[in-house]
A and B are shown apart, each in its own frame.
Chain A
Amino acid sequence: MAMNTMRPCGDYRTSYKADQTIFQTRLTMLICVAAVVALCFAPFFFSRYVLSLFIQIGYLGIAALGLNILVGFSGQISIGHAVFFGFGGFASAYLADKGVPVPIAIVLAGLWTTVVGLIFGLPAARVKGLYLAIATLAAQFILQDFFVRAEWFTGGTHGALAAPFTLFGYDLSGDDKYFYVVLFFVVVMYLGATNLMRSRDGRALIAVRDHYLSAEMMGVNLAKYRTMAFGISSFYAGIGGALYAHYVGFMSVEGLDILFSIQFLGMIIIGGLGSIMGSLMGTVFMVLLPEATGWLASALSGSIIDQALHLKSGITYMREMLIGAAIIMFLIFEPDGLAHRWRQIKTYWKLYPFSF
């Protein structure tokens, strides 16, 4: 997963400081700022449906980024990300129900999920690789069971109501207003992750991933950083889940199954392991995939293919199959994900007539 960053000709880095800027060049910074500013005007142009997709990409993207920090940057694997996402949602709904203002409840829910993540990440301090994968699999089932059981916390099988998002008395709950809330969190969380990766801790995480023996010899405390990666990843998942809960206004245990966890894995594989913007690209892909299958099915309805395969009834399964197929295909043919493909496209244009 070497990051072969493409820089304009003549832009040499002569100090470590210059090598660690958040944005590679002034232009990338301007483009990013312009993109965020442009998104601020999105509610004036797009329909509620498109906005709801944006919001979905936002909160799932935050959670996917958390998983990418765990899997892509620190080289561990979690098959239970969905329950941490769900825990954040339930915690935020619970706190808001107890009278905590919603914006604070979201952050507190993130911290709360961090603690839970650290508990389940404790095996990470002792075992690695596939053993850890199996431990997180157990976490998935244990927490899912806990959600059904703990009625005081989650409302049991009925689910919990989450209060609408209000800030200083203003109600920000509609699609067009909640969009800004999600946008704010996305920008903060993504900047936070980029910054984390520039810091000593972030580099330590990558060192643990690349060669843990060397990392340990350099004085990196493996147990600490492995568990910390779990904590950070759960924090992101918790924030994402809390945003989801207050967006829908309702949190239920349904849908927090292992398939959802696998979807998160799919997002980061498709986007690119170890790439921050890749997490967002993968989320866009994963959110648009079911929509695209929906459009395709309705476009084909009545045709021969439809009659042969019963697309209408099979569409949920078709989506699941596409998710599985996308994971397999990307791992075999493009293991570095969309982020890598995107870099290649950029390089192609930059070096256009002389592509070598």
Chain B
Amino acid sequence: MQSQLLLQLIINGLIIGTLYGVVGMCFVLIYKASQVVNFAQGEFLLIGAWVCWWLLTAWNIPFFWGFLIAVVFMMAFGMAVQMVILRPLIGEPIISVIMVTIGMSIFFQALMKWMFGTFAQPFPPIFPVDKVNVLGLQVQTAYLMSTGVSLAIMAGFAWFFKYSKMGLAMRATAFSQQVAQSLGISVRQVFALSWGISAAVSAVAGVVVGMVNGVSSALSYFGIKVFPAVILGGLDSIFGAVVGGLIVGLLENLGQYVDSQYLKWGNLYEIIPFYVLIIILMIKPYGLFGTRDIERV
């Protein structure tokens, strides 16, 4: 029974971990392209999930189309945020930029609460079966789909940055904005597009989580959980974000196991990533795969 529980938790951890990895990738994308630490990443998930939910329940649009519209909307939304709010702040100290994203985060969170209420709303059922049996374990269908989608997104990112013209332009911009500009890359476009992609992919993650747990403002907590993941992996490494996400997801669930079996402290799993975060910042602040150019103080 115990090993069964442990196995279940490990599977859960991996599934949640891939989601953290996806959100972490979005976060790193913004950071790499435009050097902005986005504290409002969780709100992108939240808004995307609410928009999709609203389209499905209020307009009775089929899931596929509602999902697509939500993603396209979030793409436009992310670009709009970059152009309206972040663009005037280019060149300002990093503290100001951080604080603007914090302001955005509480603004949108409150707006969503106001528009849709504070209670978790379930998604209308999308799959005919709720749970499927994988190797003798009950796994939610939505989770299976989420893993599939996450892996697809990761593959898509890999392709995008390796082969597509825009992806290469983004990497060039991340390397050096001046050099990129001198080569004819529109840095403005790259910034806007990176925010757009990041918001759209976050919305996908938001919809997936919303399908399992229902849509509520708890979704924005993902945006905070992503910090341990990206710091662990290294702030500017997309691969690191995925690994960090997986580790954090596993760690949470293992923490829950240790907690429920031995310690009985309660809600250890929510707090354990932050202890890890502090330890990593103390001993290896550039993370597992990040570039080592942090200025030591």
Interface residues of A (CB under 8 A from B): 71, 75, 77, 79, 122-131, 133-135, 137-139, 141-142, 145, 149, 212, 222-223, 226, 258-259, 262, 265-266, 269, 314, 317-321, 323-328, 331-332, 335
State the 6 A-B residue pairs at the shortest beta-carbon distance, nearest first.
A324-B107, A327-B103, A320-B110, A317-B114, A138-B274, A324-B106
Is A324's CB under 8 angstroms from B278's CB? no
Chain A residues whose CB sits within 8 angstroms of the CB of B293 once the complex forms: none
Cβ of B109 under 8 Å from chain A: yes
Can you report 10 A-B residue pairs in the complex whose CB atoms are below 8 A from each other?
A75-B93, A129-B95, A138-B278, A139-B278, A226-B297, A259-B106, A320-B113, A328-B103, A331-B89, A331-B100
Residue from the set B110, B113, B296 with the largest chain A CB neighbour count within 10 Å? B110
Q: Given A123, A134, A262, which contacts B106 in the complex, CB threshold below 8 Å?
A: A262
Chain B residues whose CB sits within 8 angstroms of the CB of A314 once the complex forms: 114
Flag B256-288 by CB within 8 Å of A: 1 or 0 each. 000000000101001100110110011001000
Is B295's CB under 8 angstroms from A128's CB? yes
Is A317's CB under 8 angstroms from B99's CB? no
Given contact pairs A328-B85, A331-B92, a sample of 16 additional A-B residue pairs in the complex whose CB atoms are under 8 Å apart: A71-B95, A126-B282, A127-B294, A131-B281, A134-B277, A137-B227, A138-B278, A145-B267, A226-B297, A262-B103, A320-B113, A321-B107, A321-B114, A324-B103, A324-B105, A328-B103
Chain A residues whose CB sits within 8 angstroms of the CB of B99 once the complex forms: 77, 265, 269, 327, 331
Chain A residues whose CB sits within 8 angstroms of the CB of B102 once the complex forms: 79, 262, 265, 327
Chain A residues whose CB sits within 8 angstroms of the CB of B227 once the complex forms: 134, 137-138
A173 to chain B, nearest CB (A): 34
Flag B77-104 by CB within 8 Å of A: 1 or 0 each. 0000000010011001111101110111
Cβ of B120 under 8 Å from chain A: no
Inter-chain CA distance A71–B98, complex, in Å, is 12
Is A266's CB under 8 angstroms from B103's CB? yes
Q: How many A-B residue pairs have CB under 8 A?
A: 133
Is A323's CB under 8 angstroms from B106's CB? yes
Across the two chains, which residue of chain B brings its CB closest to A226?
B297
Chain B residues whose CB sits within 8 angstroms of the CB of A130 once the complex forms: 37, 94, 98, 235
Flag B17-34 by CB within 8 Å of A: 1 or 0 each. 000000000000000000
Inter-chain CA distance A128–B277, complex, in Å, is 15
Cβ of B224 under 8 Å from chain A: yes
Across the two chains, which residue of chain B brings its CB closest to A125?
B297
Is B224's CB under 8 angstroms from A137's CB? yes
Inter-chain CA distance A77–B88, complex, in Å, is 21
Interface residues of B (CB under 8 A from A): 37, 85, 88-89, 92-96, 98-100, 102-111, 113-114, 224, 227-228, 231, 235, 265, 267, 270-271, 274-275, 277-278, 281-282, 285, 294-297
Q: Contacts A71-B95, A142-B275: A222 and B297 contacting too (C-beta < 8 A)?
A: yes
Across the two chains, which residue of chain B brings its CB closest to A314?
B114
Is A324's CB under 8 angstroms from B110's CB? yes
B94 to chain A, nearest CB (A): 5
Q: Given A124, A127, A226, A324, which contacts B104 in the complex, CB threshold below 8 Å?
A: A324
Chain A residues whose CB sits within 8 angstroms of the CB of B88 once the complex forms: 332
Q: Given A126, A137, A138, A324, which contacts B297 in the complex, CB threshold below 8 Å?
A: A126
Q: Contacts A324-B110, A327-B99, A328-B107: A142 and B278 contacting too (C-beta < 8 A)?
A: yes
B221 to chain A, nearest CB (A): 10
Chain A residues whose CB sits within 8 angstroms of the CB of B98 once the complex forms: 77, 130, 133
Across the two chains, which residue of chain B brings its CB closest to A139?
B278
Q: Contacts A212-B297, A325-B107: A123 and B271 contacting too (C-beta < 8 A)?
A: no
B98 to chain A, nearest CB (A): 6
Is B85's CB under 8 angstroms from A332's CB? yes
Inter-chain CA distance A71–B274, complex, in Å, is 22
Q: Contacts A131-B285, A269-B99: A317 and B111 contacting too (C-beta < 8 A)?
A: yes
Q: Given A142, A226, A324, A332, which contacts B274 in the complex, CB threshold below 8 Å?
A: A142
Chain B residues whose CB sits within 8 angstroms of the CB of A138 once the complex forms: 227-228, 274-275, 277-278, 281
Chain A residues whose CB sits within 8 angstroms of the CB of B271 once the complex forms: 141-142, 145
Inter-chain CA distance A323–B105, complex, in Å, is 11
Across the two chains, which residue of chain B brings its CB closest to A141?
B274
Inter-chain CA distance A123–B297, complex, in Å, is 10
Inter-chain CA distance A259–B271, complex, in Å, is 18
A64 to chain B, nearest CB (A): 14
Inter-chain CA distance A112–B106, complex, in Å, is 31
Inter-chain CA distance A262–B224, complex, in Å, is 14
Is B111's CB under 8 angstroms from A332's CB? no
B285 to chain A, nearest CB (A): 5
B295 to chain A, nearest CB (A): 7
Residue from the set B94, B111, B297 with the largest chain A CB neighbour count within 10 Å? B297
B123 to chain A, nearest CB (A): 23
Is B95's CB under 8 angstroms from A134's CB? no
Is A332's CB under 8 angstroms from B100's CB? yes
A79 to chain B, nearest CB (A): 7
Is B277's CB under 8 angstroms from A135's CB? yes
Residue from the set A139, A145, A226, A323 with the largest chain B CB neighbour count within 10 Å? A145
Is A126's CB under 8 angstroms from B103's CB? no
